[in-house]
Structure 1
Amino acid sequence: MTTRDDTRIFEKFSQYIALVGRGQKSGKTMNQAQAQDAMARILNNEALPEQVGALLMLLRMREETTEELSGLLLACRQTLPQSISTLSSIDLDLGCYAGKRRHLPWLLLSVILLAQQGYKVFMHGLEESDSNRLYLDTVFTSLNIPIAKSVEEAKLHLAQRNFCYMSIKDLHPQMASLLGMRHTLGLRSCMHTLAKMLNPANAKASVHGVFHRELDNHHIEVAKILGESKVACIRGDSGEVEATPEKAFSMQYLQSKNALTREFPVLLSQWSHQTRQLQVHALPQVWCGELDSPYGHAASIGTAAVALSCMENLSTEDALSKAQKMWDERNKVWPIV
């Protein structure tokens, strides 16, 4: 039963709907403080489901400003579990929310490659059960790689193999619930963008993947507004944080408060055929040298190079050279038993 106090709380939230929803001529954008307050109210259940859906869809139709995204992101970070702060010295954050359609998630081999060199990598994502894409939850389960269900388990996995994966359902249940509204609303919202930007473990570097043009610039501008450094974004395969070796691509990145661009060349001269079914067990086979996959090799090297370029401020050539050397000298024993 809704009380009078509840009504007052919900009326406070309606001001943000009115602010952005008055139409093309009268509608305005929220400043950072307003966006942060709006998201804080959502995450604290101080908005009705109808209000939440209305605001998210209004923002999608108009497209969020970088100032709005920065405020929304701050509220999401402030409601992370306090235990996440005990994860320290994470080198790389990867938000993996897009899933794969045409190719396997070769980014996993890039992560293992970096982990063998001592880099600690924190991965997070969400599986959308009604999607025809392949998500890391399924990949990890199929390959018997444990998924961390808590921060303590994440610490254990990082200690054992220098990388871990957590579902946002366990990491930030409120955000997971909002991400799940896609099934009700029929469209994705800014929550998917915020999840990729989240960097929950406060890693030293964070690399994002997007699909649509110009969104990579948005990610970097938000990081700049929030005073972050060592943040990079690429237009990755299927929108995932994975290099597309069949064509040249750009890495937008932030180093020492400067927004810059690095160009990566075509890494695979021959276009790869799309497979009808993604065979997950090809990942360890390629790693162990039992199966040859020119695409998988090029995607793994390219993704590792993007991460190295961001973490160590390496040029494209140096990053690719270092990633290839790491691949050639890797321990070919599959690291997860």
Structure 2
Amino acid sequence: MTTPFKDYINMVGRGQRAGKTLSQQQAYDAMSQILQGKVLPEQLGAFLMLLRVREETAEELAGFTQACREYVEPEFSQIQADLDIGCYAGKRRHLPWFMLAIMALGQSGIKITIHGTSEPDSNRLYIKEALAFFGFTAAKSAEQVEQQLNQFGFSYLDLATIHPKLDDLIQLRALFGLRSPANTLARMLNPFKANHSLHGVHHRNFDLRHVAAAQLCNDEHVVCFRGEGGEVEFNPERKVLVHSSRSGVNSEVEMPALLEGWQIKPRELNLAELKQFWLNEIDNPYGEQAVIGTMAIVLILLKQLDAEEALTQAKTIWQSRSSTWPFDKN
């Protein structure tokens, strides 16, 4: 028998002393009711914002994620990729250097699926816009995903294409003025069941929560770290702990800072600079180390390397890339 949704609101909303957290099964049931359209708008808003204030536990995230995965559009169930990346933060302080890391890794033979969305009134630069500047379009079907994986080594899809109900939850920010747990769930979705999944987060301790939830979901290979602006991008100005969950065993690797001191952030995010850097027309010490560090974290995930070896291999991949691609096709 399904628990009435108002009981879940009651559990999470009774305050610090009387309030309770949901079990993994209760969280699964609550999210299933939401995705099935069985919850009133007033109930949904109350539930999501109460969780926003209190923050979700690993058990709750695991249950929510398991429910969300059951509502991925079935067309995409047969996609095969090496690496899944969710990009939901958008960039505000720095250019999306991690996109160049994805391009170089795709050239090296790694198959990468990327999914994301944009939020209303966020004033952030999202990866979809950056990819479009480079001439890459969002895939709309499983066939297009396969074509792009074969041609480029990576493919981007809007969350609305693969999971419209979860995207609807994210877009509620236009009403709430705040992000909800839906942004975390989208990062953890791994809609194509890739062998490896990479998560970037902004807030402290959410990296630990992600890998704990991955462990509860029985995910095989997940890495989460506090990335620049909350994206899957290494900030070379500071060291970062890369947290892993592999077949139920959690561990961590420390990535060292790759620059001395803080760099001056750009006054504006000009995608032309990203293109010029890829083409070797300009130097950018911050961008170069951000790209190499991001690739190193991916290699830690894929190959279980230590930081030193991952950085060495990342430098080799970067230096051996075709810098004129994809522009040499014109």
**Range of TM-score over shorter length:** over 0.9
Tell me, in whole angstroms, the C-alpha distance in 1 between the residues paired with 2:2 and 2:40: 7
* Alignment partner, residue 57 of structure 1: 49
- Verify the 8 A CA contact 1:10 1:48 in the aligned structure 2: no
How many residues align? The count is 328
* 1:253 aligns to 2:239 (yes or no): no
| SS in structure 2 of the partner of residue 278 of structure 1 | coil
Identity score, percent = 44
Tell me, in whole angstroms, the C-alpha distance in 1 between the residues paired with 2:103 and 2:132: 16
Q: Which letter maps to 1:81?
A: E
**Structure 1 gap segments, 5+ residues each:** 1-8
Q: Deviations over 1:159-206 (max 9, x none)?
A: 211101111011111001100111111111111111111111111111
* Alignment partner, residue 11 of structure 2: 19
* Alignment partner, residue 4 of structure 1: none
TM-score in terms of structure 1 length:
0.94
- Verify the 8 A CA contact 1:284 1:334 in the aligned structure 2: no
Tell me, in whole angstroms, the C-alpha distance in 1 between the residues paired with 2:123 and 2:259: 26
Q: Which letter maps to 1:185?
A: F
Q: Which letter maps to 2:209?
A: H
- Verify the 8 A CA contact 2:234 2:290 in the aligned structure 1: yes
How far is 1:288 from its partner?
1.7
* Alignment partner, residue 98 of structure 2: 107
| SS in structure 2 of the partner of residue 55 of structure 1 | helix
Q: Which letter maps to 1:194?
A: L
* Alignment partner, residue 297 of structure 1: 288
**Structure 2 gap segments, 5+ residues each:** none
* 1:264 aligns to 2:255 (yes or no): yes
Moved more, 115-124 or 16-25: 16-25
* Alignment partner, residue 128 of structure 2: 137
Output aligned runs, 1:81-96, within 5 Å.
81-88=73-80, 90-96=81-87
Tell me, in whole angstroms, the C-alpha distance in 1 between the residues paired with 2:47 and 2:262: 42
| SS in structure 1 of the partner of residue 198 of structure 2 | strand
How far is 1:255 from its partner?
2.6
How far is 1:266 from its partner?
1.1
TM-score in terms of structure 2 length:
0.96
* 1:216 aligns to 2:187 (yes or no): no
- In structure 2, do the counterparts of structure 1 residues 227 and 191 end up closer, same or farther at CA, with 3 Å as the change threshold? same
Tell me, in whole angstroms, the C-alpha distance in 2 between the residues paired with 1:227 and 1:176: 24
From 26, 32, 36, the counterpart of 2:24: 32
- Verify the 8 A CA contact 1:263 1:316 in the aligned structure 2: yes
| SS in structure 2 of the partner of residue 24 of structure 1 | helix
| SS in structure 2 of the partner of residue 25 of structure 1 | helix
From 324, 332, 337, the counterpart of 2:315: 324
* Alignment partner, residue 139 of structure 2: 148
Q: Which letter maps to 2:103?
A: I
Tell me, in whole angstroms, the C-alpha distance in 2 between the residues paired with 1:142 and 1:327: 21
From 285, 308, 319, the counterpart of 2:276: 285
Q: Which letter maps to 1:61?
A: V
* 1:42 aligns to 2:14 (yes or no): no
Tell me, in whole angstroms, the C-alpha distance in 2 between the residues paired with 1:15 and 1:168: 30
How far is 1:327 from its partner?
1.1
Q: Deviations over 1:68-120 (max 9, x none)?
A: 110000010001111111102x1111110001111110111111111111000
How far is 1:270 from its partner?
4.6
* Alignment partner, residue 118 of structure 2: 127
Tell me, in whole angstroms, the C-alpha distance in 1 between the residues paired with 2:3 and 2:97: 47
| SS in structure 1 of the partner of residue 258 of structure 2 | coil
Tell me, in whole angstroms, the C-alpha distance in 2 between the residues paired with 1:175 and 1:327: 35
